[in-house]
């Protein structure tokens, strides 16, 4: 029992950064913009959170600074793609390349330093419950990620502003003709995505591994992008997808560290699978989340009806207002 | 004040040449600011980065060595990006090229044959092409996003190379260090001149750029690439198959990235080890855009990026500037290139808000 609770808690920790970043990107893509710079914004968030927490001694200060840094960094992308109508794919890549380089330079002096860890906060009343209690005694960013999904789902589908944002994403020309300021809506959406990615980065350097390592995002920003496609642009499915990927990550992690003989009491077929998985070289298991991403993308894209209905129709297209 | 864009009736030919140069100038200006922030003398740092390597014959040769894989990969990317096939997994294709090419000298270590080297190069191209075929066929057949699938395969390739050089292919006499045995002379690319580092890969890079330039600008196939890339609808009406082009573009691009990989393994290093993945596949994206997706422009752009690598090493040694600054430079350069490209298609003017409002009322 204890073991399973700790495994489930580690799945929460692996899923939360994916969920934060993917929820932000979902809003960006719903407004019709494809920002491939999630990985770059995330790592800028990670290095900012670590360094500000070091300097100020406050982990919350670090997390707040990461939100700000992610949003500020995303403005670079917004200015290029919205104001200068540069190609979104190329500019997103540029944001990732610059973010990885810049974070490496900023964080050079922090390598190897012990970081500050964001402590768990118990929710009064709920954390004392049997069985489910531990899930209400986690770090505040975990709660934030869940609240964020609820808030985004409500915003997109229950508010007028959310409807406006989706209209911009589905047909920027019609939205413009209705007097909506397409560019302004997209600026806000991109900054929201940047803030979320920054917070996701902060989660990595303040909770998952409280230290700074160069390139510590390790492709999570890209997986978050894939999750948005997987979720066919629906917030609740992002939650599902993020936890699915978190589970895969933890499963491969445990398979690398486990002695198969511990599981000999399990049914024979299950034991055989575990024995086989643990005998694989570590590199194969590490590849698993990336391979799973590809498989999921293929399955989702193969279902054309599903993707056609939900894909924001203006996704990735540049918009130049005619005066 | 607000920026306003006005579409030019035609792309400005003058600015298409000037925009990469302008981007370089802006990057240099940003570099001055960056060095000042880092507390280094800005102008002498910039000199160490971009001028000093050109004055030294040894460094000039290193630039050529560095530019070789960048040019090879970026030439392949030009056909992909022109046809809107976003292959950003060139790093993985480069690694697989190195892995496939190294297979021959690893398994037939004693083999001495003049055919060995050409066979290795072909194997490298095959490895890269096969690896690029995966995202291509997934896109053409299942409509899968090629950006994400090609990128995910980079991480997989890194793990695969890591496994072979630590596991089955590790040199038994290598004191446990990851890496294969050093190849025999018949399995290494000859140097261009005695006592030098530059190898025949550089020639392959130039030749492939020339061939690609010819194909893209002088043949019907090249025209198809442009049509499908700029207007997929027009391409369909003309009866060009976008799916087939996707596969072809990825195969060509993968093969060239694979050639770059085996070129590094057989030319520069002489064995397969765990340090093959240096991010050339990503830097080549910058090279491709800086060269404006023109293979001849890419040759020049590849040399510029290689200069930034070598200058970065020099600045690290003589001025103590972190080698990470090089990557920041490269990232900034791509931003400025993309920003300056806007000038080619649009006229930019600054308008005051009040003026804009009065225009709106009049119109």
pLDDT at site B361: 43
pLDDT at site A294: 92
Q: Other C-beta atoms within 10 Å of B234: how many?
A: 11
Residues of B in contact with A97 (CB under 8 A): 282, 285-286, 327, 330-331, 334
Q: What distance in Å separates the CA atoms of residue B159 and residue B153, rounded to the nearest whole number?
A: 10
For residue B153, the enclosing domain spans 72-305
Do A298 and B144 make contact, defined as CB atoms within 8 angstroms? yes
**How would you classify residue A115: left for phi > 0, otherwise alpha for psi between -120 and 50, otherwise beta?**
beta
CA atoms within 13 A on the CB side of A270: 6
Look at the block and give the residue holding tokens 């799945």. Answer: A11
| Distance (Å) of CA B235 to CA A123, B85, B118 | 59, 14, 37
Mutation target for B interface from A90, A215, A284: give the one with most B CBs within 10 A: A90
Task: Give how far the C-alpha of residue A300 lies from the chain's centroid of Cα atoms, to the nearest Å.
Answer: 19
Q: Mean of the pLDDT values across residues A8-23?
A: 94
Do B338 and A86 make contact, defined as CB atoms within 8 angstroms? yes
Q: Does B146 touch chain A (CB under 8 A)?
A: no
Do B156 and A91 make contact, defined as CB atoms within 8 angstroms? no
Do A290 and B328 make contact, defined as CB atoms within 8 angstroms? no
Structure tokens at B70: 């960048």
Nearest of A222, A220, A226, A186 to residue A203 by alpha carbon: A220
Q: Other C-beta atoms within 10 Å of B254: how many?
A: 34
Mutation target for B interface from A77, A217, A294, A310: give the one with most B CBs within 10 A: A294
Q: Does B250 touch chain A (CB under 8 A)?
A: no
Q: Is residue B353 part of a domain?
A: no
pLDDT at site B41: 87
Give per-residue pLDDT as tens, A255-299: 777 777 777 777 888 788 878 777 788 888 888 889 988 998 888
Question: B5 - beta bridge partners?
Answer: B348
pLDDT at site A323: 54
Q: What distance in Å separates the CA atoms of residue A206 and residue A11, rounded to the nearest whole number?
A: 17
Angle, CA A268 vertex, CA A265 and CA A270 arms, to 5°: 90
Helix or strand (DSSP H, E) at B293:
none
Q: Is B349 helix (H, G, I), strand (E, B) or coil?
A: strand
- Number of structural domains, chain B? 1
Q: How confident is the model at residue A321 (pLDDT cuts 50, 70, 90)?
A: confident
Q: What distance in Å separates the CA atoms of residue A218 and residue A39, rounded to the nearest whole number?
A: 8
Give the B window 57-86 contacts with A, CB below 8 Å.
Answer: 86
Report ipTM for this prediction.
Answer: 0.87
Q: How far is B113 from chain A, CA to nearest CA, in Å?
A: 34
* Domain spans of chain A, in order of start: 2-310
Pick B289's closest partner by Cβ from A90, A281, A301. Answer: A90
Angle, CA B60 vertex, CA A97 and CA B277 arms, to 5°: 35
Q: How far is A75 from chain B, CA to nearest CA, in Å?
A: 13
Cβ within 8 Å of residue B354, ≥6 positions away: none
Give the B window 163-222 contacts with A, CB below 8 Å.
Answer: 163, 167
Q: Which of A113-122, B22-31, B40-49, B114-123 has the lowest mean pLDDT?
A: A113-122
Q: Is residue B169 part of a domain?
A: yes
Query: Does position A20 have pLDDT exceeding 90, yes or no?
Result: yes
Q: What distance in Å separates the CA atoms of residue B269 and residue B178, rounded to the nearest whole number?
A: 14
Q: Output the average pLDDT for chain A.
A: 89
Query: Does position B360 have pLDDT exceeding 50, yes or no?
Result: no
Q: Is residue B45 part of a domain?
A: no
Residues of A in contact with B342 (CB under 8 A): 84-86
CA atoms within 13 A on the CB side of B303: 15
Q: What distance in Å separates the CA atoms of residue B204 and residue B211, rounded to the nearest whole number?
A: 10
pLDDT at site B297: 94
Q: How confident is the model at residue B362 (pLDDT cuts 50, 70, 90)?
A: very low
Nearest of A75, A83, A86, A181 to residue B4 by alpha carbon: A83
**Check whether domain A2-310 has CATH 1.10.443, yes or no:** no
Q: How far is A136 from chain B, CA to nearest CA, in Å?
A: 34
Q: Say which DSSP state B191 is in.
A: B
Q: How confident is the model at residue A120 (pLDDT cuts 50, 70, 90)?
A: confident
Query: Does position B363 have pLDDT exceeding 70, yes or no?
Result: no
Cβ within 8 Å of residue B131, ≥6 positions away: B89, B92, B93, B96, B153, B157, B254, B258
Q: Is B87 helix (H, G, I), strand (E, B) or coil?
A: coil
Give per-residue pLDDT as tens, A151-173: 999 999 999 999 999 999 999 98
Question: A138 - beta bridge partners?
Answer: A121
pLDDT at site A131: 73
Angle, CA B321 vertex, CA B319 and CA B325 arms, to 5°: 145
Q: Provide the residue count of chain B.
A: 363
Q: Does B21 touch chain A (CB under 8 A)?
A: no
Pick A98's closest partner by Cβ from B5, B156, B335. Answer: B335
Q: What distance in Å separates the CA atoms of residue A162 and residue A97, rounded to the nearest whole number?
A: 31
Question: B350 - beta bridge partners?
Answer: B3
Give per-residue pLDDT as tens, B232-264: 888 888 878 888 899 999 999 999 999 999 999
Give the A window 56-95 contacts with B, CB below 8 Å.
Answer: 76, 80, 83-87, 89-91, 93-94
Q: What distance in Å separates the CA atoms of residue A283 and residue A274, rounded to the nearest whole number?
A: 16
Q: Is residue B330 part of a domain?
A: no
Query: Does position B352 have pLDDT exceeding 70, yes or no?
Result: no
Structure tokens at B173: 């006499």
């Amino acid at each position: 029992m204890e073991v399973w609770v700790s495994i489930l808690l580690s799945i929460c920790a692996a899923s939360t950064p994916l969920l934060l970043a993917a929820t932000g990107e979902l809003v960006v893509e719903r407004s019709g913009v494809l920002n491939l710079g999630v990985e770059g914004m995330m790592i800028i968030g990670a290095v900012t959170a670590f360094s500000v927490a070091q300097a100020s001694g406050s982990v919350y200060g670090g997390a707040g600074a990461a939100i700000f840094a992610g949003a500020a960094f995303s403005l670079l992308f917004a200015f290029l793609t919205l104001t200068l109508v540069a190609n979104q794919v190329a500019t997103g890549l540029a944001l990732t390349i610059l973010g990885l380089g810049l974070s490496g330079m900023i964080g050079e002096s922090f390598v190897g330093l012990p970081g500050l860890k964001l402590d768990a906060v118990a929710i009064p009343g709920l954390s004392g419950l049997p069985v489910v209690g531990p899930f209400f005694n986690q770090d505040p960013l975990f709660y934030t990620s869940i609240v964020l999904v609820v808030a985004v789902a409500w915003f997109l589908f229950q508010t007028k502003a959310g409807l406006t944002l989706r209209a911009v994403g589905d047909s920027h020309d019609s939205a413009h003709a209705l007097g909506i300021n397409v560019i302004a809506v997209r600026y806000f959406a991109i900054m929201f995505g940047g803030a979320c990615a920054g917070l996701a980065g902060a989660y990595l350097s303040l909770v998952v591994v409280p230290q700074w390592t160069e390139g510590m995002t390790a492709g999570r920003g890209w997986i978050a992008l894939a999750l948005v496609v997987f979720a066919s642009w629906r917030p609740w499915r992002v939650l599902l997808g993020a936890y699915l990927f978190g589970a895969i990550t933890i499963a491969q992690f445990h398979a690398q560290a486990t002695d198969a003989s511990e599981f000999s009491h399990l049914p024979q077929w299950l034991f055989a699978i575990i024995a086989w998985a643990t005998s694989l070289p570590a590199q194969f298991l590490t590849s698993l989340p990336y391979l799973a991403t590809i498989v999921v993308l293929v399955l989702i894209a193969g279902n054309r009806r599903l993707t056609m209905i939900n894909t924001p129709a203006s996704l990735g297209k540049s918009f130049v207002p005619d005066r | 004040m607000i920026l306003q864009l006005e579409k030019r009736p035609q792309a400005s030919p003058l600015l298409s040449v000037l925009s990469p140069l302008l981007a370089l100038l802006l990057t240099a200006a940003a570099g001055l600011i960056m060095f000042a922030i880092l507390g280094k003398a800005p102008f002498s740092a910039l000199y160490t980065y971009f001028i000093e390597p050109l004055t030294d014959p040894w460094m000039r040769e290193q630039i050529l060595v560095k530019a070789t894989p960048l040019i090879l990969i970026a030439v392949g990317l030009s056909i992909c990006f022109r046809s809107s096939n976003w292959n950003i997994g060139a790093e993985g294709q480069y690694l697989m090229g190195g892995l496939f090419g190294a297979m021959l000298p690893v398994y037939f270590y004693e083999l001495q044959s003049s055919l060995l080297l050409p066979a290795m190069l072909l194997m490298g191209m095959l490895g890269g092409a096969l690896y690029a075929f995966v995202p291509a066929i997934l896109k053409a057949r299942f409509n899968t996003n090629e950006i994400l699938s090609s990128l995910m395969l980079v991480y997989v390739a890194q793990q695969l190379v890591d496994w072979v050089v630590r596991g089955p292919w590790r040199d038994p006499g290598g004191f446990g260090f990851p890496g294969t045995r050093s190849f025999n002379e018949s399995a290494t690319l000859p140097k261009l001149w005695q006592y030098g580092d530059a190898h025949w890969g550089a020639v392959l890079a130039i030749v492939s750029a020339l061939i690609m330039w010819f194909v893209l600008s002088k043949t019907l196939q090249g025209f198809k690439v442009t049509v499908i890339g700029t207007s997929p609808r027009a391409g369909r009406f003309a009866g060009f198959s976008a799916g087939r082009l996707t596969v072809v573009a990825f195969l060509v691009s993968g093969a060239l990235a694979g050639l770059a990989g085996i070129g590094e393994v057989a030319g520069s290093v002489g064995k397969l080890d765990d340090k093959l993945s240096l991010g050339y596949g990503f830097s080549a994206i910058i090279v491709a855009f800086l060269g404006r997706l023109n293979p001849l422009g890419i040759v020049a752009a590849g040399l510029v990026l290689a200069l930034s690598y070598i200058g970065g090493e020099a600045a690290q040694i003589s001025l103590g500037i972190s080698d990470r600054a090089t990557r920041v430079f490269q990232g900034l350069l791509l931003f400025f290139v993309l920003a300056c490209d806007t000038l080619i298609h649009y006229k930019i003017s600054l308008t005051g808000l009040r003026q804009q409002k009065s225009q709106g009322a009049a119109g």
